[in-house]
Amino acid sequence: MNLDAFWIIMTGSLVAISSGLLGCFLILRRMAMVGDAISHAVLPGIVLAFLFSGTREVWSMLFGAAALGVVCTFLIEFFHKKARVPADASIGVTFTWLFALGIILITVYAGQVDLDQDCVLYGEIAYVPLDTWITESGLSLGPRTVWMMAGVTLVILAFITLFYRQLYLTSFDPAFAAAIGISTSLWYYLLMGAVSLTTVASFESVGAILVVALMVGPAATAYLLTDQLKVMLILSAVFGVVASFAGYYLALWLDGSVAGAISVIIGLEFLLAFVFSPTHGLVSRRRHLVVTTPQPASA
Amino acid sequence: MIQHVTDPVLEVHDLTVSYQRKPVLWDVDLTLPHKSLVGVIGPNGAGKSTLIKAIMGLLPLNSGYVQLFGKSLDEIRKKVSYVPQRESVDWDFPASALDVAMMGTYGQLGLFSRPGAKQKQQALEALEKVGMQDFANRQISQLSGGQQQRVFLARALAQDADLYLMDEPFAGVDIATETAIIELLRQMREAGKTVVVVHHDLQSAQDYFDWVILLNMRLVASGPTAETLTPALLEKTYGGRLTELSRVSELLHKKNFPIREKKPVRP
């Protein structure tokens, strides 16, 4: 494996771990598409950050994006709770509107700069090794993205291991959580903050669509295979990492898009789990049916 | 007939609660005695669940206050336990019966601490009390409705509170579970706890409870069962709805409504 391949797979795996872990909680809360929503809704934040700072410097962009990510989750919750719009409709209305706002801002104010929605949506994981972090003494520390994603992954890992209990209970039974004094809205916003952070940090390199694929696909696959949340979290991260490896080599072999290949592998993993899962799979259910259906008496 | 007690476990004072500006509970004012098994009874939409939720601080109050053991909920939260309606959660959630029972011990843990051997022991004991020890590692989606309800009770027991508020623990459970649950609630009362139960069935209410709250948006009665479950007060609570069915059939008869709609015959 050459160094470039290593960095690309490393980036994919780091994104896979952080979004796979958060994805488990999202699908259990029936909010899987929040990742999708945030990844689109950050666009106006990026444009505004660019307009205010006047540069494409990464930190101001990240700040603008993260702020809009939080605004997006706040609006989703607000429309859902106050206006009584169903959660999925609330997600759909909020992010399309914010994304469109971002596009208008780009076309009106930033049309002549290189800031287009293609790069926002699809990213390009193959370019990760190009943007390296070089110290003042000239030492190359590897790609900047890998460092950033490693930091984000550590934050997410710490968040989920330290506060597993609170996240678990508020996802399963918010009323009971509130009754014993665990604030459901606090943990909702912390979880959504973590999702925003991950989405924003990863979409620049891997693109919005791969983030969404990694957030929902491995978690949904793991959901089919286990009845324990801890196992589900581990499986979800593992499936994401496996997809990053296999996807990279599939792309190499096909000479195609790495992000696309990773998403395809995620889809294949889900399909395999759907067919062969010991508890929820097609095969085992079919076998179960045959065993439990009483044979009709011979006529 | 609203009887007040001195040194109450629970005091609800002039409580008004509304959803979307539409009042659901009006001016409810009641006190509950120690060591009692209390039934909250009333027709659908009477605000029974709302009352429980308002006491647990899950809904904003328009006016009034709630005191438990003479203190506010925040000061005394560990002493109060809540059993939500069974349908309020997703039973396909990846959790075992033991996982759910363990949640009852979360309230005693600090922000960063994790449940340990002591908490596991508490949860297992609670499961044993409801007769679910053999199902501790069973995935909750694979339990029957009655077993799921028992797991919910075990979670409340693991909390080891002094006041329990239960939202329809008898809804959709089999007779065996209902008998087991009421037996357990009686033992809890003997141990000095107070249990408040939202209940639907008037027939069994007579045997089950020693204190009854009759509710229909306003408080109709609160007092010992013998004095509250009277025909006059029930009539007032259900507003004639008890006899609604008989009246409907009478009306059908009088006005000669067809019992079944017939297909219109084309001329």
pLDDT digits (tens, 9 = 90+) for B13-39: 999 998 877 888 888 999 999 999 999
Count the neighbouring beta carbons within 10 Å of the beta carbon of residue A299. 3
- CA atoms of A52 and A47, how far apart (whole Å): 9
Q: What is the pLDDT of residues A51-66, one digit of tens each?
A: 887 766 677 777 888 8
Side-chain half-sphere exposure of B228, counting CA atoms within 13 A: 26
Q: What is the pLDDT of residues B51-68, one digit of tens each?
A: 999 999 888 888 888 999
Q: Do B82 and A179 touch (CB under 8 A)?
A: yes
What residues of A are in contact with residue B141 (Cβ under 8 Å)?
A: 227
Q: Which of A99-113, A155-169, B246-260 has the lowest mean pLDDT?
A: B246-260
Note whether A180 contacts B: Cβ–Cβ < 8 A.
yes
Q: Which of A36-40, A111-115, B130-134, B227-231 has the lowest mean pLDDT?
A: A111-115
Using DSSP bridges, classify how beta strands A140-143 and A132-134 pair: parallel, antiparallel or unpaired: antiparallel
Residue B265 has pLDDT above 60, yes or no: no
Confidence at A131, pLDDT banded by 50, 70, 90: confident
Note whether B77 contacts A: Cβ–Cβ < 8 A.
yes
Count the neighbouring beta carbons within 10 Å of the beta carbon of residue B31. 18
Query: Encoding tokens for residue A293?
Result: 């259906």
What residues of B are in contact with residue A171 (Cβ under 8 Å)?
A: 93
* B6 close to B164: Cβ distance less than 8 angstroms: no
pLDDT > 90 in chain A, percent: 38
Q: Do A175 and B88 touch (CB under 8 A)?
A: yes
Q: Do A176 and B53 touch (CB under 8 A)?
A: no
Note whether B138 contacts A: Cβ–Cβ < 8 A.
no
Note whether A82 contacts B: Cβ–Cβ < 8 A.
no
- CA atoms of A20 and A266, how far apart (whole Å): 11
List the single residue in B with minimal CA-CA distance to A30.
B90
List the single residue in A with minimal CA-CA distance to B115.
A165
Looking at residue A220, what is its pLDDT?
95
Q: What is the pLDDT of residues A12-32, one digit of tens each?
A: 999 999 999 999 999 999 888
Residue A298 has pLDDT above 50, yes or no: no
Encode A59-117 in three state secondary structure. Answer: HHHHHHHHHHHHHHHHHHHHHHHHCCCCHHHHHHHHHHHHHHHHHHHHHHHCCCCCCCH
Confidence at A200, pLDDT banded by 50, 70, 90: confident
Report for A114-123, A245-254, A281-290, B222-231: range of highest mean pLDDT:
A245-254
Place of tokens 């002493």: B79
Burial pattern A107-117, b for ≥16 Cβ within 10 A else e, equals eeebeeeebee
> Which of B76, B82, B86 to mutate to probe the A interface, most A CBs <10 Å?
B82
To the nearest whole Å, the CA of B187 is away from the closest chain A CA by 23
Phi, psi at residue A139, to the nearest 5°? -85, 130
List the single residue in A with minimal CA-CA distance to B74.
A181
- CA atoms of A227 and B137, how far apart (whole Å): 10
Structural domains in chain A, sorted by start: 3-216 (1.10.3470.10)
* B32 close to B42: Cβ distance less than 8 angstroms: no
Residue B259 has pLDDT above 50, yes or no: no
Note whether A169 contacts B: Cβ–Cβ < 8 A.
yes
Instruction: Say how many Å lie between the first and final Cα of chain A, rounded.
Output: 66
Q: What is the pLDDT of residues B131-142, one digit of tens each?
A: 899 999 999 999
* B56 close to B226: Cβ distance less than 8 angstroms: no
Residue A293 has pLDDT above 70, yes or no: no
- CA atoms of B160 and A79, how far apart (whole Å): 38
Confidence at A287, pLDDT banded by 50, 70, 90: low
Residue A128 has pLDDT above 80, yes or no: no
To the nearest whole Å, the CA of B169 is away from the closest chain A CA by 15
Mean local confidence (pLDDT), B42-58: 89
Handedness of CA A167, A173, A175, A180 (dihedral sign): negative
List the single residue in B with minimal CA-CA distance to A228.
B94
What residues of B are in contact with residue A231 (Cβ under 8 Å)?
A: 94
Higher per-residue confidence, A281 vs A275: A275
Q: What is the pLDDT of residues B204-228, one digit of tens each?
A: 888 899 999 999 888 999 999 888 8
Residue B143 has pLDDT above 60, yes or no: yes
Mean local confidence (pLDDT), A89-107: 89
pLDDT > 70 in chain A, percent: 87
What residues of B are in contact with residue A165 (Cβ under 8 Å)?
A: 106, 109, 114-115
Confidence at B242, pLDDT banded by 50, 70, 90: low
- CA atoms of B158 and A71, how far apart (whole Å): 39
- CA atoms of A267 and A21, how far apart (whole Å): 18
Phi, psi at residue B161, to the nearest 5°? -95, 180
To the nearest whole Å, the CA of B81 is away from the closest chain A CA by 7
Of residues A165, A182, A226, nearest to B94 (C-beta): A226
